[in-house]
Structure 1
Amino acid sequence: MSVRSAVNGFFFEPVPLGRVAAMRFLAGLYVWIEWWAYMPFIFRHRFVPEELYQPLFIGRVLPLPAPNYWIVTGTLVVMLAAATPMMFGYRPRLFGWILFAAYFEWMIIANSYGKVDHASFGFMTLLLVLCMMPAGARWGDREHLSERVGWGFKLVQIGVVCTYFLSAWAKFRYGGFDWANSGVFTWAIIRRGTVFSNWMLDFPWLLHLAQWGMIAFELLTPIVLLVYRWKRLQYALIAFLYCFHVAVFAALGISFLPHLVAMACFLPLERLDPRATVRRLRARAAARRAAPTEREPEPQFESGP
């Protein structure tokens, strides 16, 4: 196999169109969840004085106005209004671009007050990619394969992996090896610990070991991309990543929900078809109603002489 064919096989691996419909639904559903359950503080920025606004670099370049009550509220309304038709496959490209633009502004509002989160990087990439996916994608379509879809989802997958890998790079950039030998996990547990993690405070050596393990884990995440030919192994690694985030949430209450939504593009979601599932359930219910009920045999009495 030549290098060119290997590169093309990696970046343009054909993916069924059914996965596009599933990812559109998940993306729109997450947008509805985010503003009131996952990150409700973003909407509260409509009451924050404009003097506290410290725009990101992209916010200074464009430039974008400082958020106020009407800008924050209007951005949310547009975002939710565009997410609804897109997630159900109605004009998904048109409403996908509107959603991406609104969510882009939403993230600038969220990250321009002194704290920048990296959990939404892969999700932002997903929204951008979905704008350019085939409009006719339908749930459960496993027959029609597209290299174009494979290219788009590969970019999302790279963004997901970069979220881990560049996190380790940032640790070395700002903290060096002192990060791994520091008390950052101890501080995190003291601040946000739960019943699942407070016991670890009695074992500081275990926390230091976990910090080194975290760096090693993040540096090794590109393996998920390299094993794309061995799907079962790749799915097992993705399952491990999901379990890792469940453990982090149980220990510290920290959730990477948008990142987990974007990571779903690794999975064979084209096997899901809600309409077919509903039809099967209805058919089974109708078959049960139509089936004749078995009557118990009537007792037979012997007649006397």
Structure 2
Amino acid sequence: MTQLPLQQKAVGWFFQPVALGRVAAMRFLAGAFIWVDWWWYMPWILGHRHVPGELYQPLFIARVLPVFPVPNYWIVVGTLVVLLAATVPMMFGWRPRLFGWIVAAAYFEWMIIAMSYGKVDHGKFAFLLLLFLLPTMPKAKWGDREHLAEHVGWGFNLVQIGVICTYFFAAWAKFRYGGFEWVNSATMTWAIIRRGTEFSTWMLDYPWMLRAVQWGMVSFELLTPIIMFIAAKRLKYAAVAFLYCFHVSVYLAVGISFLPHMVAMACFLPLERVSPRDLVRRLKRGKRVEESAPISIPLNNADSRSPQPHEDLPAT
């Protein structure tokens, strides 16, 4: 059965081959963030080992799949140990599929432990997708731009869709629970009063500006699906750079960070062009050139000449 032209374009877009070097880079970034996550980004999760089991209210998926026990001291600590132990070989490419599945399962349990006490973060959605899709991808090396795979492109497209859905449904939730009052009221004013920094408190004197920020934020969140269909790579990279700048601005303004989301968003970028070995070689080569470069003495400069003995003698 022959495919229709539109169907061929859709299949070609969804299964566009991607270089394996991007897989190695994303595995390293994902593993590096997990270490940052438990130590700095969300260290409070480990404190749940001391929380009484009566306060545990499992998420919907934990209720549907009755394989998640009530967290206690050993379950919380054991999950963290398994997660960190499996992260190291995955991020350095040693049996990445095996340890990738262990990392995905352990981090999923880690999120169940974190989010089953009343606070649920939507910024981890795309990162969880990334962790569950990386084990489906083959073993890869940094800087590999020669070997391409369609199912790698399929996996990263799913992560990109997860990134875009995080923005789009965040705007949907604003209208669902807050209606148009979310953009027309003092939402940002309240946020800055609670969590403002020296970069944002000055905006309290300009309420019209805060309302414009609210409308602009929701507008660009609703328009983010366009990024998936931008054909020009430079334009797509510029749109992704804008998203990074947006998150940096939010962090500077109210101290809210979307670091895991930003890690997942890196799959938009051509990370296969990055090779740590080449960078080290260039640095070594640059040092050798600097060390071997001869020291030149400008002999033709009159100011640099050493004075001759008769030049300092008075005229007779």
Normalising by structure 2, report the TM-score: 0.90
TM-fit CA distance, 1:49: 1.3
Match of 1:176 among 170, 176, 179: 179
Q: Which residue of 1 aligns with 2:128?
A: 124
SS in 2 for 1:148: helix
Q: Which residue of 1 aligns with 2:276?
A: 274
Q: Aligned partners of 1:32 and 1:235: how far apart in 2?
A: 27
Larger radius of gyration: 2
CA shift digits 1:249-282 (9 cap, x unpaired): 0000000000000000000101100012112322
User: Does residue 256 of structure 1 match 2:258?
Assistant: yes
Identity within the alignment, %? 67
Kindly report which structure 2 residues correspond to 1:26-105, keeping only aligned pairs within 5 A, or say none.
26-63=29-66, 64-105=68-109
Distance verdict in 2 for CA 1:6–1:67, change over 3 Å: same
Kindly report which structure 2 residues correspond to 1:156-305, keeping only aligned pairs within 5 A, or say none.
156-227=159-230, 229-289=231-291
Moved more, 1-10 or 57-66: 1-10
SS in 2 for 1:65: coil
CA shift digits 1:84-114 (9 cap, x unpaired): 1100001000000000000000111111111
CA shift digits 1:272-299 (9 cap, x unpaired): 00012112322333455556666899x9
Match of 2:26 among 23, 27, 34: 23
TM-fit CA distance, 1:162: 0.2
User: Does residue 148 of structure 1 match 2:151?
Assistant: yes
Q: Aligned partners of 2:25 and 2:42: how far apart in 1?
A: 23
Q: Aligned partners of 2:5 and 2:259: how far apart in 1?
A: 39
TM-fit CA distance, 1:186: 1.3
SS in 2 for 1:90: coil
Q: Aligned partners of 1:176 and 1:253: how far apart in 2?
A: 25
TM-fit CA distance, 1:205: 2.3
Q: Which residue of 1 aligns with 2:10?
A: 7
SS in 2 for 1:249: helix
Moved more, 279-288 or 4-13: 279-288
Where structure 2 has 5 or more consecutive residues not aligned to the other structure, the ranges are 300-305, 310-316
Q: How many residues align?
A: 300
Q: Aligned partners of 1:230 and 1:205: how far apart in 2?
A: 35
